[in-house]
Amino acid sequence: MKDLKSLVKKYWYSAAILLLFLIAVFLRVYRLESLPDVLHIDEAGLGYNAWCLAHYGTDRYLNVRPFYPQNFYGGQSPLYTYLLALLIRTIGQGNLSLTLLKIPAVLASLLLFFVGTKSIRLVFDDQKWSIAAAFLLAVCPYYIMSARFALDCNLMLCCSAVALLFLIRFTQTKTLRNLILSGVFFGITMYSYALSYFLIPIFLICISLYLLYTKEISFRRVLLWAACVCITALPVILFVCSLLFHWETIHFLGLTISPIASERMSDVGVTSFWENIKDIIKITLTCGSYRLDAVPKFYTLYPLSIPFIVLGFIGAVYSFLVSLYKRTFQADSIYLLFFLSGLITIGLSGSGYVYRANSFFICYLFFLIKGLFLCCHFLSSYHTGFMLLLSAGYLLWSISFCSFYFRVYTMTDVCPNYLYSISFRECVDDVNLNLDYADLYVDLVNMKEFFFFYYPASPYDTQDDETFTDGIHTYHFLTDYSTEISPSSVYVVYKKNNEFLQNLSESGLAYQTWEYPYYYVIYFE
C-alpha cells in the first residue's frame, strides 16, 4: 500500500496529462473526414494547390514553386500548403483526401496542447494550474473545432505559442539556446499567415523595449534575436518588399517570390481601427458568422470563461504597470504585449472572422488561468470548493458541447453553396458507375476547386474556368437558367438552384431523377 501511494504521488501529474492528451486526440480525430460536413472553398483550393505542388511543382495557376501559392484573387500562406504537399507525397502516396487535408491542423493542435500546458506550468510554477490549462486545451470548442478546419492561418496559433514558450524559458534561464529558438519560431510563424507580417514585428519591438527596460536582456542579444527572426523569415521579408516596392519576380532558394499572387497589403488601413478591435474582441470571446470555429451558446471557450478572461486581462495589465514602476520583469507582460500587438494588427487590417485572430487564443488561455488564479487567491479559505464547483461547470459544458458537436452539429443547411461544398462526391461517383454521358454539369457556381479537390488533374489541363475535358467526358462547373439542356448530358444540381430547375421544366424534355440529401442527379433515357 505504501508503494502504491508513492507511485501515485510520483506519477499522478504525468497520468493526468496523458489522460487529457488522449481525450484531446479523440476529440480531434473522431469522424475527422465527415465532421464538419462541408468543405470550405479555401480548404479545397489549398488541397488542390498542395496536390499540384506535390506532383508538378506548381500551384493550380501554374506558378512554379511559389512562395505564396495563388488562391483566387489573393493567395495562401506557404506553411500549410507545403506541409500538405509533403504529406501527399509520403503518407498519401500521391493521393489527396479530407483526412490528409486536416492532418497538419490536427498535429498543430496537439502540439499546442503540450506547449500551452508547459507555458502555464513555467509561468505559475504549479502543476495544478498546468493541468487546468491542459483540460481547457483539450475540451474548449475553439481548440477542437480549429483543429478540424484546414485553413492555412490556423497554424499561426501553434507556431506563435511555441515561440512564446521559448521566450518564457529564456527569461527564466537566460540561455542563448532558448533565445535563438524563440527567434527561429517567430520567423516560422511568419510563414503561417499574412497578418503575422505585422503582428510579429510590432510584438518584437514592444517586448524588446520592455525586456531592455527591465534589464532582462542586453542590446547585443536583442540584435541576435532579431537576426534569428530575419534570417528564418528572409523569404517572407523579400515577399513583403516585393509587395511594397513592386519588385519583379525573385527566385530564391528554389522558390518563386512574386507580388502578383497576393493583395493582402491593400487590407491595411486606420479608418475603422477601434471598430475592428471591438468587433474582434466580441467574436473571439463569443462567436462570429462562421460556424466552423465556434457556435452560438457554446462560444469559443464557453460563456463560463469570459469573466475570468476579463479578470485575468485586468490582472495582467496591473502586473505590467507594477513591473514598469518597479522596473522588474513579469511573465504576464509577454502575453499581454502579444495580445495588444494582435489587437493593433487587427485594428489596422480588419476583422470579421475568428480565425483572423487565432493567435489570441494562447493569450486567452493565459488570461483565463490568471483569472482563476486570482479568484482562488481571493477566496483562499474556500478555493477548494470554488475549484470543484467550477470544474463541475466546465465538465457539464464540455459534455454538452461534445454531444451537440458530434451528434447534432451540421453546416450543410446554413452554408452558401459558393463558399462550401455540400458533398457531391457520392453523386458524381454514382453517375460515373451507372450512366453514360458526354457532358456532366456539376453545380459548383463556377468553383471548380471543389471538383478538383475530389478528382485532381494536371493543372496544365485545368486552366479553363468553366469546363474540363479528361479525354472522355467534359465537365461543366456552372448551372443556371442559361445552361443548355441536352439529352446527352447529366446534371448534378443543388436542390436550391431554382434557376436551373425552372429552365429544366420549361425545356419540355422527359428526364429521370436521383435524389440525394442536397442534390438532384438529372439524366435522360
pTM above 0.85, yes or no: yes
Smallest Cα–Cα separation from 478: which of 460, 488, 493?
493
pLDDT in tens, 470-498: 888 999 998 888 888 999 999 999 888 88
Confidence (pLDDT) at 93 = 94
**Rounded mean pLDDT of the chain?**
92
Q: Which three cell numbers stand for residue 312?
A: 485575468
Contacts of 183 (CB under 8 A, 6+ apart): 224, 225, 226, 227, 228, 229, 232
Confidence (pLDDT) at 243 = 86
289 pLDDT tier (thresholds 50, 70, 90) = confident
Whether 264 has a pLDDT exceeding 70, the answer reads no
CA 437, distance to chain mean position in Å, is 40
Q: What is the gyration radius of the CA atoms in the chain, in angstroms? A: 25
CA 395, distance to chain mean position in Å, is 25
pLDDT in tens, 233-253: 999 999 999 888 888 889 998
Q: H or E element: which one contains 427?
A: helix 425-434
- Please give the residue that has the higher pLDDT: either 400 or 265: 400
Per cent of the chain over pLDDT 90 is 75
- Please give the residue that has the higher pLDDT: either 113 or 350: 113
Whether 87 has a pLDDT exceeding 80, the answer reads yes
What whole-number distance in Å separates Cα of residue 474 and Cα of residue 467? 7
For 66-70, the CB contacts below 8 A with 24+ separation are 66/255, 66/256, 66/257, 66/258, 66/261, 67/235, 67/238, 67/239, 67/252, 67/255, 67/256, 67/257, 67/258, 67/261, 68/239, 68/257, 68/258, 68/261, 68/262, 69/261, 70/260, 70/261
376 pLDDT tier (thresholds 50, 70, 90) = very high
Per cent of the chain over pLDDT 70 is 95
Confidence (pLDDT) at 5 = 64
Q: Which three cell numbers stand for residue 418?
A: 459558393
